[in-house]
Amino acid sequence: MLYLALSILFSSLIFVVFKLYAKYGVQTLFAIIVNYFVACSVGLFNYSGPITLVDVPQKSWFWGSLSLGLLFILIFNLMAATSQKLGVSVASVATKMSLTIPVLFGVFFYKEILGILEIIGIILALLAVYFASLKEQKIKANKWAFALPVLVFLGSGVIDTSIKYVQDAHMPEEEYALFSATVFSSAGVIGLFYICLNSTKVPLKFNFKNIIGGICLGIPNYFSIFYLLKALQHPTWNSASVFTINNVAIVMFSTLLGIILFKERLTPKNWLGIVLAVCSIIMVAFGQHLTMLI
């Protein structure tokens, strides 16, 4: 229970850190790049096995890790923009609802069968993203900003699906930590290359504010995954229970943090979206068991 609680805490803190970037004038892209190098460093520090850098490109999962690194840098920027423009709860719901995408991938790629409750859960997830994204007219945001939760939803789902595929097809269990560190480092390198090319248009501010912002993001980013993996090792809980409690609690806790820390005001439609989010996760995760009970 402690590991799962820590995973929920660190995952929720990611959205809070994004929100603080706008408040304190942190350059989001620069901080995100620092975050990935920090997360990679923490991962390598906690990895107990031998590390031979020249052997890493020979791994069958190496090119997959590079692709995931590119997705990570893109989606993290979208998550940051969603938190800053539409609120912490919106970004959280959009990210957690991406659970439906790997479920659909399992149906079409692994030929898994969905029950009626799972299908209803997927539909509710889409509605949840829509309702949680709605804001009052007085919120100042460009029209394109309301497409951000949809992009976060799709991108996060693609990341989860890709990780699952690479894990099943190319990666032995003893290389999980090295794979994660490689993904983080590739995301950082790709981001660093991008800002170097773009530095003539958007000058970088090499200051402690951006570096501290990256550190504050990188540490919870790594440990949110680390403690989730530890929670999945629980001897009496199945993975469906762990993922369900984790996702529901992150949505609710990040929403609570948004209200308490940033005085965010949720409309009845926003609350409806959050309720639908909780219902959809439960239906997708426990659909087969609920069907048997019915």
Domains of the chain, by residue range, sit at 2-293
- Residue 257 pLDDT exceeds 80: yes
pLDDT at 214: 92
Pairwise pLDDT comparison (166 vs 39), residue with the higher score: 39
pLDDT at 265: 79
Kindly write down the DSSP assignment for every residue of 146-175, as one continuous string.
Answer: GGHHHHHHHHHHHHHHHHHHHHHHH--GGG
Structure pTM?
0.75
Q: Phi and psi dihedrals of 25, rounded to 5?
A: 70, 35
pLDDT at 212: 93
Residue 232 — pLDDT band, cuts 50, 70, 90?
Answer: low
Q: What is the mean pLDDT of residues 41-54?
A: 79
What pLDDT digit, counting tens, does each position of 271-284 carry? 888 888 788 777 77
Q: What is the mean pLDDT of residues 120-141?
A: 69
What's the chain's average pLDDT? 78
CB 86 within 8 A of CB 237: no
Cα angle vertex 253, ends 247, 258, to 5°? 125
pLDDT at 215: 94
**For the stretch 99-134, what's the b/e string if a residue is b when 16 or more beta carbons lie within 10 angstroms of its beta carbon?**
bbbbbebeeeeeeeebbebbebbbebbebbbbbbbb
pLDDT at 10: 92
pLDDT at 218: 92
pLDDT at 258: 81
Q: What is the mean pLDDT of residues 4-9?
A: 88
Please state at what angle helix 239-262 crosses helix 208-231, rounded to 10 degrees: 150
Q: What is the mean pLDDT of residues 217-242?
A: 75
- Residue 194 pLDDT exceeds 90: no
